[in-house]
Amino acid sequence: TVTQVTTIDRIDTLILDIPTIRGHVLSMATMRTQAAVLVRIRFSDGSEGLGEGTTIGGLSYGPESPESIRSAIDTYLAPALIGRAADDVNGGVQLMDHVARGNRIAKTAVEIALWDGLGKRLGVSVAQLFGGAVHTRLPVAWTLASGNSDTDIAEAEQMIATGRHRIFKLKIGKRAVADDVAHVARIKSALGDAASIRVDVNQTWTLTEARRGLPALQDAGCELVEQPVAARYLGAMAELTRSHAIAVMADEALGGPEDALAVAAKGAADVFAVKIAQSGGLKRAAEVVAIGQAAGLGLYGGTMLETGLSTAAALQLFATVERLDWGTELFGPLLLTADILAQPIIYRDFHVEVPTGPGIGATLDPYKIEFYRRDRAPRIAV
Ligand code: MUC
Ligand code: MG
C-alpha cells in the first residue's frame, strides 16, 4: 500500500479592517482600526489551518505593515511552502527563515496556520503539541489609553466592577515626563490597591528622561515600566534595570531568541514581554520564554492586539508556560468592535480562558470576515 503524504495545497491571505471601541492613544500612533492579516492554509487531505498577523498603528510600531505582511506571504513564503509535507512544521519554519529574513509577523501568521492544521488533523490542541497545557486560564490586563485621565479612571472602575480586569497598562510617552507621571499618579490613587498599574512608554524616552521618570513612577505606585527607551539602547535599559526597584520590561527589544539572549546577557530587563508575532512564531516565542526562564527573568504574555484568532494561538503557547509572573495582556478581541470568532474567547473573573478544541481552538464567523475584509465588494451598487 502507498501512504499518501498530506501536503500544503494552497495558502490564501486577506486583510480585515476592524474599528476599535475607542481611540487607542499610543506614544507613536492613535489606533482607530486594527488591520489583521488572515491566513488560511488548505491541505491535500481537505484539512485547513488558520493564522493571523497584526502590527500596531500601521508602520509606526515596527518594520512590518499589514500590507507588507500580506505581500511577504503571497510572494515569498507561500510559494516556498506549497507542495511540502503538511505535518513538517519545523521544516516549514526553517524554510521560511531561509527564504526571508526578518518578516517575523508574516512568518508567525503562516506558522500558526501550520500548527492549527496539524492539531486539527491529530485531533489535539496546539498546547498539546507543545507538551500540554498547565493552565486553563491566565490573568489578563487591560490597556488604558483613551488619552484622558478621567475617561481612563471610569473605564478602569468599570473593568474592576465587572470582574474583567484589575491589571492596567497605561500608555505614556507622548507628553512631558512630569505630565505623564501626574496622569499615572492620579489613576493609581483613584483605583488604590484594587489595581496593579504599569506603564508602556513604547521607546519614547531618552535615557535622561527615563532616569527622572522611573523613580517618579515608582513613587506614584507604578509597578513596572515597559520599553522606556529605544529597543537598541540595551546599555541604557541595563542601567535603568540596575538602578531602580521598579521592574523594567523589554518589549520592542525582543525580536526573537537572539535578541532575548542579548537582553538577558546584558541585564537589560527584569521581565520579558513575550509576543508570538514579535518573536517570529509560537516556536520562536517558546525559545524566548526558555531564555527568559534560564536567565531568571519575569515573563509576561504580550499582544500585538490580535483578533481572537491569534489571541487563541498565543493562549495555546502561554498555557504551557510554568510561570507568567506578570500575567498576560491578551485582550485584543475586547478592543475591537467586532469579534470574528464563531465562539469568542471567554473573559471572566479577571482571567482569559484557554480555548479548548483541536488546533488553536478558534473558528471564524464567515459573515464577519465578509463584512470586514478590505477588498469586499461594495454593498450598494452605484
Ligand atoms: C505594546 O507595545 O505593548 C499591547 C497592548 C497595547 O495596548 O498595545 C500593545 C503594544
Ligand atoms: Mg509594549
Write down the pLDDT at residue 218: 98
Indicate if ligand 1 lies below 6 Å from the C-beta of 111.
no
Q: Is the pLDDT of residue 379 over 80?
A: no
- Mean pLDDT throughout 365-380? 88
Do residues 59 and 180 share a domain? no
**End of a domain among 99, 125, 151?**
125
Q: Catalytic annotation on 171? A: yes
303 lines ligand 1 (CB under 6 A): yes
Q: How many domains would you assign to the chain?
A: 2
Residues 360 and 246 in one domain: yes
Residues 36 and 177 in one domain: no
Return all residues near 332 (Cβ < 8 A) that are at least 6 apart: 34, 54, 303, 304, 305, 306, 307, 308, 310, 311
Q: What residue owns the CA closest to ligand 1's atom 2?
A: 202
What would the pLDDT profile of 34-60 be if each residue is shown by its tens digit? 999 999 999 999 999 999 999 999 999
The residue from 72, 102, 125 where one domain ends is 125
Distance 61 CA to ligand 2 centre (A): 9
Residue 359 maps to a domain: yes
Q: Within this chain, do residues 84 and 146 fall inside the same structural domain, yes or no?
A: no
Determine the pLDDT at residue 376.
Answer: 85
Q: What does the alpha-carbon distance between residue 330 and residue 312 come to, in Å, rounded to a whole number?
A: 9
- ipTM of the complex, rounded to two decimals: 0.96
Are 156 and 25 found together in one domain?
no
* 219 and 281 in a common domain: yes
- What range does the domain containing 355 cover? 129-366
Mean pLDDT of the chain: 97
Q: Which atom of ligand 1 is nearest to the CA of 303?
A: 4
Which CATH number does the domain housing residue 17 bear? 3.30.390.10
Domain identity same for 139 and 62: no
User: Can you give the CATH number for the domain in which 202 is found?
Assistant: 3.20.20.120
Is residue 356 a part of any domain in this protein? yes
The Å distance, Cα 201 to ligand 2 centre, comes to 7
Note whether residue 382 is domain-resident. no
Atom of ligand 1 nearest to the CA of 273: 3
The 10 Å CB-count burial string (b at 16+, else e) for 169-199 is: bbbbbbeebeebbebbbebbebbeeebbbbb
Q: Is the CB of 305 under 6 A from ligand 1?
A: yes
33 inside domain: yes
Active-site pick, 107, 120, 171, 283: 171
pLDDT in tens, 290-311: 999 999 999 999 999 999 999 9
Q: pLDDT tens for residues 224-246?
A: 999 999 999 999 999 999 999 99
- Residues 138 and 102 both lie in one domain: no
pLDDT of residue 378: 65
Predicted confidence (pLDDT) at residue 166 exceeds the cutoff of 60: yes
Within-domain flag for 310:
yes
